[in-house]
Structure 1
């Protein structure tokens, strides 16, 4: 019985160390400036279009000189009236300043993403915000 308890404790400690290491490797969300983008596709069920969008978006975010952290999502289907689940993709990108976000708008990686994917969407809505201090 003692051996079993010791083994469980060791597994728990090792697991928590692995979790802590993984969290330490993650980028920290930068609350200075958030750029939130919603995309509505012309044909949201087009698998090839979605693959092209995701591939181009990942390349763009990897190559951006200005974006600090990012989140790409798809809408969950909701039964709550206050939840808008009509979009195809959402993107949240953080920057250390509004000036960095302006640089991102004109950088080659961003412009290439737009060129590669603009035919896929029928509507794009952007919300920019500063973090509270």
Structure 2
């Protein structure tokens, strides 16, 4: 039984370190952060969620301007101040406000909106630049 426990710890360590090498990680660019929250019309629909995420990932993988990105969903709220009402969140970083503007006009971004806008009821965007 002790050997199994050690094997489990070794496997967990290996899995947790996978992809964490510097050469495989993208570095967060703090010049411009673009945070988007999406509320899907049918947040319980597995098909809608899968379609939305697939379209979003396709778009982000093809973007010439997005430096890093994170797609998430709300965890179960543990505090009153946590807003977990959205279905998905997106955080994208850019080297500049100009790059973010070009991203907004990119064909792949416009295609994502065309493909997926029927899935959401609400979108809120928060853009941020660093405190100097």
What's the TM-score, normalizing by structure 1? 0.83
The whole-number CA distance in structure 1 between the counterparts of 2:18 and 2:107 is 36
SS of the residue corresponding to residue 36 of structure 1 reads strand
Distance 1:21 1:93, change over 3 A: closer
When the two chains are superposed, the root-mean-square deviation of aligned CA atoms in Å is 2.0
Report what 1:68 is aligned to.
67
What's the CA shift for 1:19? 3.9
Provide Cα deviations, 1:61-113, integer angstroms capped at 9, x if missing partner: 00000000000000011131100000000000000000000000010110010
The whole-number CA distance in structure 1 between the counterparts of 2:125 and 2:19 is 34
Task: Report if aligned partners of 2:19, 2:25 keep a CA contact under 8 Å in 1.
Answer: no
What's the TM-score, normalizing by structure 2? 0.84
Q: Is 2:33 the partner of 1:23?
A: no
Structure 1, gaps ≥5 residues long: 1-11
List aligned pairs for 1:8-47, cutoff 5 A. Answer: 19=17, 22-24=20-22, 25-47=24-46
List aligned pairs for 1:109-124, cutoff 5 A. Answer: 109-124=108-123
Structure 2, gaps ≥5 residues long: 1-9
The whole-number CA distance in structure 2 between the counterparts of 1:20 and 1:62 is 21
Q: Is 2:46 the partner of 1:59?
A: no
The aligned length equals 119
Provide Cα deviations, 1:9-38, integer angstroms capped at 9, x if missing partner: xxx9xx79x949733020000000000000
